[in-house]
Amino acid sequence: MISSRFLLFCLLLFVCDTVRAAEEFYARGPRTRNGIGKYYEGREIAHFMSHLGAPWLERGTREKEERPDLLMQALELKPGMQVADIGCGSGYYSRKIAQEIGNKGQVYGVDIQKEMLVILRKNMKANSLTNFVAVLGEVDDPKLPEGKIDLALFVDVYHEFEFPYEMMLKIAKSLKKGGRVVLVEYRLEDPDVPIKLLHKMSQAQVQKEMKRQPDLKWVKTVHTLPWQHVMIYEKK
Ligand SMILES: C[S@@+](CC[C@H](N)C(=O)[O-])C[C@H]1O[C@@H](n2cnc3c(N)ncnc32)[C@H](O)[C@@H]1O
């Protein structure tokens, strides 16, 4: 008969293996000004933007600088969709999405800073929008239901993930079959984009990291935005 000690030993081995497998993706290195000293595929992960920066997300010049209208077109939203706005911040995009998908749809506004969710709720209320739920995520878990999401949007957030591999794995699980992931990142290739280096990403780097994801495949990259790449993936 198998003893309970042996079973416990096997369980410990399994847990250690899983932790080691996840750790192998990452490396430690010099911590630069806006980074956390943790590297993924050669890229230093950026420190997340504090909730004190929320007014910058709502700045009046954003419409002209980033052309969110073009991003909204690229999302191809339909009424009734279930959309996750990951790293929603003040809800700049959550509001636009909620208006577009209507009352039969729902926005999951996910952030790791509860202060951001307070701002999100206030801004949704000011716009009389109720078709959303505010979700307090963890650094390695967006806390979304499995198989429910049509589209997960990441505007200016992926590069801040402390656990990008684990986050994207869980996001893929939250998608319906054929559900989409849309990564929007400031273009590192363009020196004229006036954003801190660690808060920009090249297309090649995004592709390199996303190739690690077993459940997602690249569909297309949209090049219509003035400052950002829009990279679209689909659940296999
Ligand atoms: C630069 S802001 C972008 C906010 C919003 N997407 C926008 O474009 O207006 C990045 C946000 O991502 C959040 N964030 C960072 N890591 C996260 C994670 N693992 N899960 C959810 N949110 C995260 C930060 O707290 C911050 O509010």
Task: For residue 167, give the ligand 1 atom closest to its CA.
Answer: 19
Which pLDDT score is estimated for 86? 99
Residue 158 beta carbon below 6 angstroms from any ligand 1 atom: no
Distance 152 CA to ligand 1 centre (A): 13
11 band by pLDDT with thresholds 50, 70 and 90: very low
Nearest-angstrom CA–CA distance, 195 and 227: 9
**Size of the chain, expressed as the number of residues it contains:** 236
Which pLDDT score is estimated for 24? 76
Nearest-angstrom CA–CA distance, 193 and 211: 26
Pairing of strands 26-28, 35-40: antiparallel
10 band by pLDDT with thresholds 50, 70 and 90: very low
- pLDDT tens track for 126-184: 999 999 999 999 999 999 999 999 999 999 999 999 999 999 999 999 999 999 999 99
8 band by pLDDT with thresholds 50, 70 and 90: very low
Looking up tokens 């997602």 gives 216
The pLDDT > 70 percentage for the chain reads: 90
Distance 163 CA to ligand 1 centre (A): 13
Residue 49 beta carbon below 6 angstroms from any ligand 1 atom: yes
Mean pLDDT of the chain: 93
Hey, what domains does the chain have and what are their CATH numbers?
A: 51-235 (3.40.50.150)
Tokens of 143: 């806390």
Looking up tokens 């929007």 gives 184
Residue 185 beta carbon below 6 angstroms from any ligand 1 atom: no
Residue 156 beta carbon below 6 angstroms from any ligand 1 atom: yes
- pLDDT tens track for 70-109: 999 999 999 999 999 999 999 999 999 999 999 999 999 9
Which pLDDT score is estimated for 62? 98
15 pLDDT more than 50: no
Residue 97 beta carbon below 6 angstroms from any ligand 1 atom: no
Bridge partners (DSSP) listed for residue 186: 200, 228
Nearest-angstrom CA–CA distance, 221 and 229: 7
Which residue minimizes the CA distance to atom 23 of ligand 1? 87
Which pLDDT score is estimated for 5? 55
Which pLDDT score is estimated for 80? 98
Which pLDDT score is estimated for 63? 98
Which residue minimizes the CA distance to atom 8 of ligand 1? 155
The pLDDT > 90 percentage for the chain reads: 89
Q: Please return the burial class of 188, using the count of CB atoms within 10 Å of its CB with bins 0-12, 13-18 and 19+.
A: buried
* Residue type at 143 in one-letter notation: K
115 pLDDT more than 90: yes
Task: For residue 110, give the ligand 1 atom closest to its CA.
Answer: 21
195 pLDDT more than 50: yes
Residue 186 beta carbon below 6 angstroms from any ligand 1 atom: no
Sequence-separated (6 or more) residues with CB below 8 Å from residue 74:
182, 222, 224, 230, 232
25 band by pLDDT with thresholds 50, 70 and 90: confident
Distance 8 CA to ligand 1 centre (A): 39
Pairing of strands 106-111, 82-86: parallel
Pairing of strands 35-40, 43-46: antiparallel
Long-range contacts of 92-96 (CB under 8 A, 24+ apart): 92/57, 92/58, 92/62, 92/68, 92/155, 93/68, 93/153, 93/155, 94/120, 94/124, 94/132, 95/123, 95/124, 95/127, 95/129, 96/68, 96/72
